[in-house]
């Protein structure tokens, strides 16, 4: 299957291509992001999306049964990058639901049947990340990876840890010290990942793990963050399932919270491919919602009017913004810790998705996020704070009359309510459980399977040691060559 699939640089002035067997997180020539591309003419593509319906009734433990059970691999003809079905990794991800939310919609003045919530928190690890991990782990298995790692605001690490344990690879996660919710931290520990609590925020963690994956090949790290183009292939399936639930009709709007901007990028790619293949007529509009305390995309897109411009976007404006952030020692801060990110690595792809889906970007305050999160829980079945940014964004866009009450809107609820119970308890009672936990007396963990997080300074040598590597690995570091190849935004 895989020779009709390849990786391609998204920069229109480069367009370098690489085989799917190569492990890359950026173009080797110009440093831009990569896409997974397909020569569809050489692949068996269904004539209509209803083709996938026959898979709903598949049963059993045969490979076909297992793949059909997955809400990702049920659509495998639309992400055919793997060599054989034995490469495919699945843990039963993507069996999520699209729920009509009339009670919530009514509170917002929407017409009946027009507001729908896509509950991605129903994935095995409790967030949408499992869609992408299924695809990235499939690629990791294809290339024989043994150690997989990511930086995370919590959900990527939970998902990676779960998949790594089931796929028998070593999982390593970098999290910002005190930056992720307890629900998510508990998952990474429970699934046995080596959990490094780096003194820094998500942006610092991602910078470090990319540096190690790219510049210290001796460490043998396969990077699982969404700069890995295979992750985004799996995340396309969220759109396929929404179409499926709507009897293959596109909604008018898709609204999604924006953090590192992998999800919205994947949505744009999904619809671009479906349109090119003639499998959908209409492309929905996209709204990406930032938290005000981590609003880089909104600043760049809505205030500074940076547009995709066929790939020739104004990168200088972006660099200036990042330089100003550095100068003022800016760090993002929001109650929606999952999207507390100030240098979204998928920014160019997000601009491309916004261009293709005629998108808008907004930001919402922590207060709006918390109020809408509580509304979702009151009239639905709950989500974590970051997810509610989508609903808070809808409210704003309804107020602005950008979205009309008669339009069909899907809000993506990216993570489960139980991911961050502290935020919920604090909202309802005023008690800050995290502060209480921080002050609680500690004892040595005694369980046979206890897996303590390892606190580490944001320093390359200390991190390599904590990962079990030798500091001498840094001596061979290809820093100069590779760094100059990655755009400034990436480091
Ligand atoms: N919602 C939740 C619950 C998330 O965990 C994330 C990202 C997002 C939204 C934003 O998605 O990055 O594709 O724009 N969480 C990442 C993590 C960064 O490490 O778990 P995005």
pLDDT digits (tens, 9 = 90+) for 55-85: 988 888 898 999 999 999 999 999 999 999 9
Nearest protein Cα to ligand 1, atom 7:
338
Per-residue pLDDT for 488 more than 70? no
Identify the residue with better confidence: 180 or 351. 351
**Pair 75, 237: CB distance under 8 Å:** yes
Ligand 1 mean position, distance from CA 168 (Å): 25
Q: pLDDT confidence of 476, banded at 50, 70, 90?
A: low
In this prediction, residues 11-19 reach a mean pLDDT of 97
**Pair 118, 394: CB distance under 8 Å:** no
Atom of ligand 1 nearest to the CA of 265: 13
**Percent of the chain with pLDDT strictly greater than 90:** 89
Ligand 1 mean position, distance from CA 102 (Å): 26
Q: pLDDT confidence of 483, banded at 50, 70, 90?
A: very low
Smallest CA-to-CA distance from 172 within 451, 444, 482 is with 451
Ligand 1 pocket test target in 259, 411, 412, 416 with most atoms within 8 Å of CB: 259
Give strand pairing partners of 412. 118
Distances in Å between the alpha carbon of 253 and those of 111, 135, 371?
A: 15, 26, 22
Ligand 1 pocket test target in 206, 255, 414 with most atoms within 8 Å of CB: 414
3-state secondary structure of 174: strand
In this prediction, residues 295-309 reach a mean pLDDT of 98
pLDDT at 434: 81
Distances in Å between the alpha carbon of 1 and those of 16, 78, 79?
A: 21, 12, 10
Nearest protein Cα to ligand 1, atom 15:
338
Taking only the tens place, the pLDDT of each residue in 94-107 is: 999 999 999 999 99
pLDDT at 364: 98
Per-residue pLDDT for 287 more than 50? yes
Ligand 1 mean position, distance from CA 158 (Å): 12
Ligand 1 pocket test target in 123, 129, 136, 155 with most atoms within 8 Å of CB: 155
**Pair 35, 8: CB distance under 8 Å:** yes
pLDDT at 178: 86
pLDDT at 482: 46
Taking the C-alpha atoms of residue 280 and residue 490, their distance in angstroms, rounded to an integer, is 34
Supply the DSSP symbol for 302: I
Of 115-129, 209-223, 431-445, the range with the lowest mean pLDDT is: 431-445
Taking the C-alpha atoms of residue 272 and residue 278, their distance in angstroms, rounded to an integer, is 10
3-state secondary structure of 175: strand
Ligand 1 mean position, distance from CA 153 (Å): 7
Ligand 1 mean position, distance from CA 209 (Å): 17
Distances in Å between the alpha carbon of 37 and those of 13, 139, 144, 225, 364?
A: 17, 14, 21, 19, 34
Atom of ligand 1 nearest to the CA of 259: 14
pLDDT at 433: 86
Ligand 1 mean position, distance from CA 130 (Å): 11
Taking the C-alpha atoms of residue 21 and residue 82, their distance in angstroms, rounded to an integer, is 9
Q: pLDDT confidence of 436, banded at 50, 70, 90?
A: confident
pLDDT at 489: 41
Per-residue pLDDT for 487 more than 70? no
Taking only the tens place, the pLDDT of each residue in 385-417 is: 999 999 999 999 999 999 999 999 999 999 999
pLDDT at 1: 46
**In the numeric block, which tokens belong to residue 292?**
């005000």
pLDDT at 478: 55
Per-residue pLDDT for 485 more than 50? no
Q: Which residues line ligand 1 (CB under 6 A)?
A: 127, 129, 152-156, 226, 257-263, 338-339, 384, 386-387, 414-415
3-state secondary structure of 413: strand
Per-residue pLDDT for 315 more than 50? yes
Nearest protein Cα to ligand 1, atom 12:
260
Identify the residue with better confidence: 131 or 62. 131
Smallest CA-to-CA distance from 211 within 395, 381, 463 is with 463
**Pair 25, 491: CB distance under 8 Å:** no
Give strand pairing partners of 223. 149
Of 134-143, 176-185, 409-418, the range with the lowest mean pLDDT is: 176-185
Per-residue pLDDT for 420 more than 80? yes
Backbone angles phi, psi at 286, to 5 degrees: -115, 135
Ligand 1 mean position, distance from CA 462 (Å): 27
pTM of the model: 0.96
**Contacts made by residues 484-489, CB under 8 angstroms, sequence distance 24+:** 485/26, 485/27, 485/28, 485/29, 485/30, 485/31, 486/26, 486/31, 486/210, 486/214, 487/26, 487/31, 487/32, 487/315, 488/319, 488/322, 489/315, 489/318, 489/319, 489/322, 489/343, 489/345, 489/347
Ligand 1 mean position, distance from CA 255 (Å): 14
Mean pLDDT of the chain, nearest integer: 94
SS3 percent helix, strand, coil of the chain, rounded to 5, is 45, 15, 40
Nearest protein Cα to ligand 1, atom 10:
259
Kind and range of the H or E element at 28?
none
Ligand 1 pocket test target in 119, 338, 361, 373 with most atoms within 8 Å of CB: 338
In this prediction, residues 26-38 reach a mean pLDDT of 96
pLDDT at 59: 83
pLDDT at 76: 97
Strands (E), 258-319: 285-291
Q: pLDDT confidence of 486, banded at 50, 70, 90?
A: very low
Supply the DSSP symbol for 37: E
Where do we find the tokens 């840094």? 474
Taking only the tens place, the pLDDT of each residue in 184-234 is: 999 999 999 999 999 999 999 999 999 999 989 999 999 999 999 999 999
Q: pLDDT confidence of 491, banded at 50, 70, 90?
A: very low
């Amino acid at each position: 299957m895989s020779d009709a699939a390849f990786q391609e640089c998204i920069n229109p002035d480069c367009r370098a291509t690489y085989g799917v067997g190569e492990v890359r997180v950026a173009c080797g020539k110009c440093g831009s992001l990569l896409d997974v591309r397909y020569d569809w003419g050489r692949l068996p593509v269904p004539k209509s999306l209803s083709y996938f319906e026959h898979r709903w009734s598949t049963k059993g433990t045969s490979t076909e049964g297992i793949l059909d059970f997955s809400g990702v691999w049920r659509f495998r003809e639309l992400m055919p990058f793997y060599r054989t079905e034995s490469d495919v990794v699945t843990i039963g991800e993507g069996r999520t639901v699209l729920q009509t939310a009339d009670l919530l919609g009514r509170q917002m003045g929407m017409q009946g049947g027009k507001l729908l919530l896509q509950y991605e928190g129903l994935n095995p690890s409790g967030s949408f990340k499992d869609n992408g991990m299924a695809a990235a782990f499939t690629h990791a298995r294809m290339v024989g990876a043994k150690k997989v790692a990511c930086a995370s605001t919590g959900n990527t690490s939970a998902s990676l840890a779960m998949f790594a344990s089931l796929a028998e690879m070593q999982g390593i996660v970098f999290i910002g010290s005190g930056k992720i919710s307890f629900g998510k931290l508990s998952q990474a520990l429970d699934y046995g990942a080596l959990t490094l609590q780096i003194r820094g925020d998500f942006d610092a963690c991602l910078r470090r793990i990319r540096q190690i994956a790219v510049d210290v090949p001796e460490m043998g790290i396969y990077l699982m963050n969404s700069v890995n183009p295979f992750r985004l292939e799996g995340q396309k399936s969220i759109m396929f399932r929404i179409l499926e639930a709507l009897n293959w009709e596109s909604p008018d709007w898709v609204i999604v919270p924006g953090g590192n901007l992998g999800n919205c990028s994947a949505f744009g790619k999904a619809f671009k491919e479906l349109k090119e293949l003639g499998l959908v007529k209409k492309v929905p509009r996209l709204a990406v919602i930032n938290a005000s305390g981590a609003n880089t995309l909104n600043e760049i897109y809505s205030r500074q009017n940076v547009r995709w411009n066929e790939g020739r976007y104004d990168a200088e404006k972006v660099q200036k913004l990042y330089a100003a952030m550095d100068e003022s020692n800016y760090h993002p801060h929001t109650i929606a810790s999952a999207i507390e990110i100030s240098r979204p690595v998928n920014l160019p792809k997000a601009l491309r998705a916004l261009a293709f889906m005629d998108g808008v970007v907004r930001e919402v305050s922590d207060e709006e996020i918390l109020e809408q999160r509580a509304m979702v829980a009151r009239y639905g079945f709950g989500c974590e704070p970051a997810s509610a940014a989508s609903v808070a964004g809808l409210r704003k866009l309804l107020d602005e009359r950008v979205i009309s009450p008669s339009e069909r809107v899907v809000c993506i609820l990216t993570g489960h309510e139980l991911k961050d119970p502290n935020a919920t308890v604090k909202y309802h009672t005023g008690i800050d459980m995290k502060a209480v936990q921080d002050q609680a007396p500690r004892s040595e963990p005694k369980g046979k399977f206890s897996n303590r997080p390892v606190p580490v300074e944001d320093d390359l040598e200390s991190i390599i040691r904590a990962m079990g590597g030798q500091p001498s690995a840094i001596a061979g570091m290809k820093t100069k060559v590779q760094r100059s190849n990655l755009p400034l935004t990436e480091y």
